Structure 1
Amino acid sequence: MKVLISGGGTGGHIYPALALIEQIKKEIPNAEFLYIGSDNGLESRIVPDNQIPFKTVTISGFRRKLSVENVKTVLRFLKAVSTAKRYIRDFHPDVVIGTGGYVCGPVVFAAAKQRIPTLIHEQNSVPGLTNKFLSKYVDRVAISFEASKTFFPKEKVALTGNPRAQQVYEASLEKSGGRLTELGLDPNQKTVLIVGGSRGAKPINEAFLQAVPALKDKPFQCLYVTGDVHYESIKSELTTFGELTNIVCVPFIHDMPQVLKHVDLLVARAGATTLSETTALGLPSLLVPSPYVTNNHQEKNARALENNGAAKVIVEKELSADRLVQEMDASLEKENWQVMHEAAKAMGTPEAATTLRKLMEEVIAEKQ
């Protein structure tokens, strides 16, 4: 079987694609892959690092307002479609899958026009322009949130969850609490993980630093992931609080699944990948959605969890040290934690990658 995958721009589009590829390799060992992305997106580094054949097209996203730049985007799109057709002709894929980001637009469109089996995967509760456009042409649309159904042709939609959920769930079973010890934490103590993404989130950083005087005497410990950019300055500032026996600061965690398994509460942004990870593990969370994303989709993602009792949402303008500590205390209370844990677990999709792989095979069979 030959599988062509396209998606990029952010990790939220790339990591689900990689999780799906990993699962297909496990279940179909002789499968071959080609990944098409942009030459300047994160995928241009991440995908080749995972030893996956990689090709590029040149494309940019549409502006939501009329502009001269959109005319250029149309021309780039048409050229990218032509390039994608050449890649498709050379690779002869059995199926083409788009995981979001404007780079998959011309690739999946080109495949659909050549009547190759196609499907797209939407990670967010509110889809982006590219997936809305592609939904008119593809055979099936896989979604991660029930709320996404209304944006797509109902006869094409299938709720699969996010493939990253299965990857994290299975990886979390591989190691014991020894990973917390390596990080300088007590595996027998309640742990709160605070993280704002690979580059950090300034509002979360600021609220946490202001909360340190209150947190250093709490009966739980904090693992604080600052992001590489902010690490040195924050580490220096933490030294002004004296000895902190229950707070550990690191710039980045590469083996997040093993750490998440032994965390009791997560404080983070509300990207789709993060939420798929927390629900797969039944992990309660305090979510601070980024207000700087298209259609405010992070808050809508977060509200989906909050409405089911799996998380608490703190919008950025209401984030403060006092509010942060208050919500941590409340969420770690035994009864509250158990309710959130069960609600998150109920929303989890620990077999999402396998479900999406099965949907892929259905699409292929339907076109034969």
Structure 2
Amino acid sequence: MQRRIIIAGGGTGGHIFPAIAIANALKKSDPETEILFVGAKGKMEMEKVPQAGYAIEGLEIAGFNRSNMLKNLLLPFKIIKSLGEANRILKRFQPNAVVGVGGYASFPILRRAQALGIPTLIQEQNSFAGKANMFLGKKAKKICVAYEGMEKFFPADKLVFTGNPVRGSITQSAVTRDEAAKHFGLQAGKTTVFAVGGSLGAKAINEALHPLLSTFAEKDIQLIWQTGKPYYETARAAAAAYASHVKVFEFINLMDFAYKTADVVISRAGALAIAELCVVKKPVIFVPYPFAAEDHQTFNAKSLVDKKAALMISNDAAAAQLGTTLFSLVQNKALLEQLEQNIGKLGNINADMVIARHVLSLIG
């Protein structure tokens, strides 16, 4: 029997890359499986999913806009329209199961699938579940989670602890540290920091690093700095005087190279970033993005801090505290080893295959 599966959601790399990892695992389990992605029109999944070799359909849907309330006036109409579009997609494609990975498009598809009696599975990536997933969780068959204590959001009998899927390019990377350092024009064996703020960069991290560039050079510490597009030109100009120590990039595609070179990582605390850092076992200073829905990044980071697997600085304190915290950590070998060991215990390189098995179990 040929299985047909819809994977719905997106909006950010944090939703899209795990979704693609699940699709690849489903194909690996059964190459005959037909997979259709459903995303939100105008969002990055409409570009990234076809690049990964999968078909995608877009819904006319947006999320609740916290910064411009006027934009929410059309939201009820968009939701109604997207539910109608979702209905048509489901009736045409006739899936055996629907997977929701979070993001705008996952709600209408899963809501309609549940109404039609199609089995659904939710992949909740964060330690603090969003309202849409909590609502959908009541009728989902299974909910795959990456953090303990999720029964406060979902029915306990539906929870499966799987961890978050990590891209194969990271879990299966064979690059050596010397090769990775050379790729970035850095010296192998020198202490190196990797700062990354997600695909768009992180304003607080960028602004906190800017005045520290001369200190990196003085202390002979190298920095790989992924700034995102908005801050790139500013950072490039500031780093020009320290070119041997500071390498600035708008976006880094070869993340496995950046992780391999780094002794310490400075990062936002999205679920995908955390899953990757656990797999590559890197000491990390988290600066959670405070405006994420339900402030879930702070909850994500705190769950690692409580296990002595990471350090955390709040967004507001980054400018004042990042330099002190970073440069003292780099010199503290005992703490670096402790963070590396503890974060490594949380890594899960098989989450994609485990989730794929649970999806297929819904079909029988």
Instruction: Give TM-score scaled by structure 2 length.
Output: 0.92
Residue of structure 1 in register with 2:360 after alignment: 361
1:155 to 137, 154, 157: 157
Residue of structure 2 in register with 1:223 after alignment: 224
| Structure 1 residues 359 and 337: CA distance shift in structure 2, 3 A | same
* Alignment partners' CA distance in 2, 1:133 and 1:287: 29
Does 2:131 correspond to 1:129?
Answer: yes
* Alignment partners' CA distance in 2, 1:3 and 1:332: 50
Percent identity of the aligned residues?
A: 31
| Structure 1 residues 79 and 263: CA distance shift in structure 2, 3 A | same
* Alignment partners' CA distance in 2, 1:53 and 1:331: 45
Question: CA deviation digits over 1:270-323, x for unaligned, max 9?
Answer: 111111110111111001111122211111111111111111000022113654
Contact 2:177-2:188 at 8 Å conserved across structures:
no
Residue of structure 1 in register with 2:27 after alignment: 25
Residue of structure 1 in register with 2:13 after alignment: 11
Please give the secondary structure, in 2, of the residue aligned with 1:35: strand
Displacement after TM superposition at 1:46 (Å): 1.7
Displacement after TM superposition at 1:109 (Å): 1.4
1:42 to 41, 44, 57: 44
Superposition map of 1:67-106 within 5 A: 72-106=74-108
List structure 1 runs of 4+ shifted beyond 6 angstroms. 67-71
Residue of structure 2 in register with 1:140 after alignment: 142
Superposition map of 1:1-368 within 5 A: 1-62=3-64, 72-164=74-166, 167=168, 169-173=170-174, 177-239=178-240, 242-320=241-319, 323-331=322-330, 333-365=332-364
Instruction: Give TM-score scaled by structure 1 length.
Output: 0.91
Gaps of 5+ in 1: none
Aligned residues: 361
How large is the RMSD of aligned CA atoms in angstroms? 2.3
Amino acid of the structure 2 residue aligned with 1:139: K
Gaps of 5+ in 2: none
* Alignment partners' CA distance in 2, 1:256 and 1:78: 39
Contact 1:100-1:131 at 8 Å conserved across structures:
yes
* Alignment partners' CA distance in 1, 2:101 and 2:91: 21
Q: Which stretch shifts more, 351-360 or 71-80? A: 71-80
Amino acid of the structure 1 residue aligned with 2:126: N
Displacement after TM superposition at 1:120 (Å): 0.7
Displacement after TM superposition at 1:163 (Å): 1.1
Q: Which stretch shifts more, 67-76 or 301-310? A: 67-76
Q: Which stretch shifts more, 335-344 or 313-322? A: 313-322
Amino acid of the structure 2 residue aligned with 1:307: D
* Alignment partners' CA distance in 2, 1:79 and 1:251: 36
Displacement after TM superposition at 1:248 (Å): 1.7
Contact 1:279-1:346 at 8 Å conserved across structures:
yes
Please give the secondary structure, in 2, of the residue aligned with 1:33: strand
